[in-house]
Structure formats: C-alpha cells, structure tokens
C-alpha cells in the first residue's frame, strides 16, 4: 500500500477539532439536528458539508467515510448507501429517464441486470442492450442517440472480463451518455476509473472495501458536482443512506 493511501485511510475527512480532538471519530447516532431558528433550518444556501439537518440526508460519521472514498477514488464527491445495489440503482435512476436506453455488460452483477430488465423496462420503458464489452468497437456499435448510460464492471463478476474503460468512455461521451463502472473487484487501490473517463464509480462495501464480511454498504463517487447533487437528491428521496 502506498504511503499516501495509508494517510487517506487514517486521516481523510476526520476533522478532529469538530469532536474535541478525539483520535477516534464518534459514531453519530442521531436522527434530527437542531437549528437556532426556523429560518436557518430552511436556508439551503447556507448549507455546506457541516450542515446536518436529518439523518436520512447526511450524518457526520457517514461524511468521514465519504471523504475517504472520494480521495481514494480521486473524485470530487461520494455518497454512501445502505448496500451496493442501493448505490447501483441510484446511479441508474440519476442517469435514466422514461424511454431511454442503457448499454450494460453481460457479465455485470446479476441483481443489477434484473433491475434493468424488469423494473426499468416495465416501469420506465428503458431498454437495455447487453454486450460482452471486450471490444471497444462493439461498444461503439451498440450506443444509440438516446443511450443515457453505459454500465461497465471491470473486472466483472465471477468471470472477470475486462473492458477498455478509456475507449468505452470516449465512445459513450460522444453519444452524450454517462459512464458507470462497478470498481468493486479492483478496489480504489488498483484502479481509479474517474481518471479514465468514467462519471460514476460504484463500490459494494460489502466485499473488499469492508473486507471482513461483516457489513453491507455501497458507494457512488463522481467528479462533477452537478451530478453529485442529483445523486444526493435521489438518495435523500429514496432514503437509501447507510445506517
């Protein structure tokens, strides 16, 4: 592990002066936060990363984890979810609208494919084209003018197929589509897809990030704050923040 990575894991996002310089950040168990006046509660312009209003929206302990993942993934913002699937579906709901089109690799995580093929098709009229993904030309060929999202997973579940992230992202962006990648198997230690052109990097924290088979969680990291705002809104409305 690189020295920088160790620093991120140990210190990133930890604002010691916010909790009496305790070296171990406290676990904030609260739901509601109080404000001096009702006006200050409603003043969304004044909100920053230290403004916490309600635990379904944001929590100081969750924020620390998000800052660490953001730095590890070399992104701008991360959002942590109650599971990897909560993160994956939030990306789909952020990027896709009624009647749109998704391109997804055939060996992607099964429940994600089920969500696309069943819920998204039936309730959103979103079509999905599944591809091998090994050849960038194949990706270029299946992208359509109304493709909204290209979903990669490299290496992919079970069989570890890999995609050329950079070429895939170039082709997708040329069509105006966003690029999502499940980076679970590489972890941020071995691959940072935002640097290769991806728009969303997803992790299930239930696997390598957690590392001990004792938690369920997921994350989305983005480099565009506008996209981050859309992800944050979906998480708030669906209520899928990690506990």
Ligand X SMILES: *Cc1c(COP(=O)(O)O)cnc(C)c1O
What does the binding site for ligand X look like in residue numbers (CB under 6 A)? 83-85, 109, 157, 182, 184, 204, 206-207, 216, 218
Q: Decide whether 127 or 207 has the Cβ nearer to ligand X.
A: 207
Q: How far is the CB of 113 from ligand X (least distance, A)?
A: 11
Alpha-carbon distance of 108 to 44, in angstroms, equals 38
Q: How far is the CB of 183 from ligand X (least distance, A)?
A: 9
Q: How far is the CB of 89 from ligand X (least distance, A)?
A: 9
Which residues 6+ apart lie within 8 Å of 169 measured at CB?
A: 150, 179, 196, 197, 198, 199
Q: How far is the CB of 194 from ligand X (least distance, A)?
A: 18
Q: How far is the CB of 155 from ligand X (least distance, A)?
A: 9
Q: How far is the CB of 187 from ligand X (least distance, A)?
A: 11
CB < 8 Å & 24+ apart, contacts of 40-48: none
Alpha-carbon distance of 180 to 183, in angstroms, equals 9
Q: Decide whether 49 or 106 has the Cβ nearer to ligand X.
A: 106
Kindly give the pairing relationship between strand 178-182 and strand 127-131. Answer: unpaired
User: In the complex, which residue's CB is closest to ligand X?
Assistant: 84
CB < 8 Å & 24+ apart, contacts of 3-12: 5/72, 5/189, 8/68, 8/71, 8/72, 9/68, 9/72, 12/64, 12/67, 12/68, 12/70, 12/71
How many CB atoms sit inside 10 A of residue 203's CB? 30
């Amino acid at each position: 592990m690189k020295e920088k990575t160790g620093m991120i894991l140990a210190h990133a996002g930890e604002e010691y002066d916010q909790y009496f310089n305790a070296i171990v950040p406290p676990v904030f168990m609260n739901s509601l936060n109080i404000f001096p006046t009702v006006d200050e509660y409603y003043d969304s312009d004044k909100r920053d990363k230290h403004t916490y209003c309600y635990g379904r929206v944001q929590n100081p302990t969750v924020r620390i984890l998000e800052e660490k993942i953001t730095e590890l993934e070399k992104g701008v913002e991360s959002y942590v979810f109650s599971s990897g699937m909560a993160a994956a579906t939030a990306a789909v709901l952020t990027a896709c609208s009624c009647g749109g089109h998704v391109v997804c690799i055939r060996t992607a995580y099964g429940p994600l494919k089920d969500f696309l093929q069943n819920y998204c098709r039936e309730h959103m009229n979103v079509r999905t084209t599944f591809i091998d993904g090994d050849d960038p030309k194949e990706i270029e060929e299946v992208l359509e003018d109304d493709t909204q999202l290209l979903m990669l997973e490299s290496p992919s579940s079970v069989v570890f197929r890999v995609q050329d992230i950079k070429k895939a992202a170039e082709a997708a962006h040329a069509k105006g589509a966003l690029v999502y990648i499940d980076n679970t198997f590489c972890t941020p230690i071995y691959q940072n897809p935002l640097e290769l052109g991806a728009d969303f990097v997803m992790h299930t924290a239930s696997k390598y990030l957690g590392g001990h088979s004792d938690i369920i969680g997921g994350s989305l990291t983005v480099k565009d704050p506008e996209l981050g705002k859309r992800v944050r809104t979906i998480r708030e409305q669906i209520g899928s923040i990690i506990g």
